[in-house]
Amino acid sequence: MTSYLVTSSMKAFSFLPALLSLHAAAQTLPTPYGSTQNGEPVHQFTLKNSHGLTAKILTYGGILTELHVPDRTGKFRDVVLGFDSLPEYEKQNGAVYFGCITGRVANRIAEGRFDLEGRTYSLALHPGTQFHLHGGLKGLGKSIWKAEPRTDPRGPALLLSYTSPDGEDGYPGSLRTQVKYVVTESGALLIEYEATTDKPTPVNLTHHAYFNLAGHDSGSVSAQTLRIAATQITEAGPEMLPTGRMTPVSGTPFDFHRPIPIGSRFSQIPLGGYDHNFVLQRASGSETIVPVAEVEDPESGRRMEVYTDQPGLQLYTSTYMNEIQGKGGSRYRRHQGFCLETQHHPDSLHHPEFPSIVLRPGEVYRTWTAYVFSAH
C-alpha cells in the first residue's frame, strides 16, 4: 500500500524555484496578544516580505489571523477570515477553526474510536455528532506553541513547536510537532510540518484558513473561480464520513477540472455547499510539481495556487457557518470563505485502502503546503 506519510519537503521544493528566492528576510516581529482563560500569555508574530505580503500568526493554535495580499493595482487586502481578540478565538474556534493548525488528526474519525496495536482508543465526539473532529476538545489548534523567529533564505520565517503529551485528547504517544511558516520573497505562504512520536499514533495535520480573495469582509466567495486537479472524491455517507469508495467527479457538481465559479453548483449539492475530500492527481513519472488547486477573484485579480505533497484536499465553503461577527465588526455569513485543507483522506484509520496515517517511533512525519499568490 502506498503511504504518503514520510516525505522530503526539501526535495519537493527543489522543483519549485519560484518559491525559493534567496533574498534576505524582511521582518519577523512579535507583539503581545493577551492571555488565555488559563492565564497563559499569547503573542502574535508578523512575517512581512520586502514586497509587502504580510502574515500574522498567533502562538495560540498557530492561528493565521491576517494575510495581506495585493490586487492587480497593488492594493492590499486581508484575505483570511478571523476575529479581533483572543477571547473570541477561544470561544469560537471549537466550532469554526479559523486559521489554526489542525490535528493531531484533521477531519473526521467515525464514532470517535480507533484500534491500534491491539488496543482500542476512545476520543471525544464533536458536539451533536457521532464522529471525532480536528483533534478533539483541545487539539493542536487550541494549544500554546513555542515560537522562534528563524533566518530562512526564502523569506521571513517562524518556527512553532509543541509537544502533545501521551494521552492528550485520547491519543497515544508523546507527539513532538514543529510547524514552520515562511512568507517567501516570491509571494507564497509556505507551511512545513514535522512530527515524531515515542509510540505508534495517528497523525494527519492541516491548516484551516478560510480564504476570501476579495477581502475577508467582502461577502460571498461564490463568484471566485476554482480549479482542482482531481478526478475523484472520497464518497461521503452519513455525517460526511467516507464509505471507502472513490467516485469519479466527471459530470457531477464536484468536477473542477476547468475553473468555474465556486458557487455555481451549490444548488446541486444537498448540503447547499461543499465539505468534500478530493483525491488529488499525481503526475506519473514526472518530477515537476504542479498546483493541485487554483482560485481567482475576477474583480480584484488576486490569484492563489495551492501546492502540496498530500493525497487529499478538503474543500469547505463555510457551508455550516451561521452568521457571526468577525474582524473589524464585519458580519461573516454562509459561503463567505473557502478552505482548501491539504491532508490525508478523512477517517483513514477505518479504511485500510486509504494511505496510512500511522506514525511510528523512528519515523518522521514531514509534509508541506504552499499557497502562492499573484494578481492578473
Residues designated as active site: 208, 341
Is residue 344 within 8 A of residue 92, CB to CB? The reply is no
CA–CA separation, 260 and 257 (whole Å): 9
Q: Report which residue type is found at 152.
A: D
Phi then psi dihedrals of residue 19, to 5 deg:
-95, 0
Q: How far is CA 263 from CA 78, 317, 334, 374, in A?
A: 21, 9, 11, 22
The secondary structure of 210-238 as a DSSP string is: -B-TT-TTS---TTSEEEE-EEEEEEE-G
- For residue 23, the tally of other CB atoms under 10 A from its CB is 14
Contact 85, 37 (CB under 8 A): no
DSSP strand pairing (225-228 vs 260-261) = antiparallel
Single-letter amino acid, residue 38: N
Nearest to 100 by CA among 155, 69, 144, 68: 144
Please spell the DSSP secondary structure of 290-341, one letter per residue: --SEEEE-TTT-EEEEEEES-SEEEEE-STTPPPEE-GGG-EE-TTS-BEEE
The values of phi and psi at residue 374, to 5°, are -155, 180
Rounded CA separation 306/284 (Å): 19
Q: Rounded to the nearest 5 degrees, what angle is found at the Cα of 340, between the Cα atoms of 363 and 139?
A: 55
DSSP characters over 114-152: EEETTEEEE-PPPTTSSEEETTSSS-GGGSBPEEEEE--
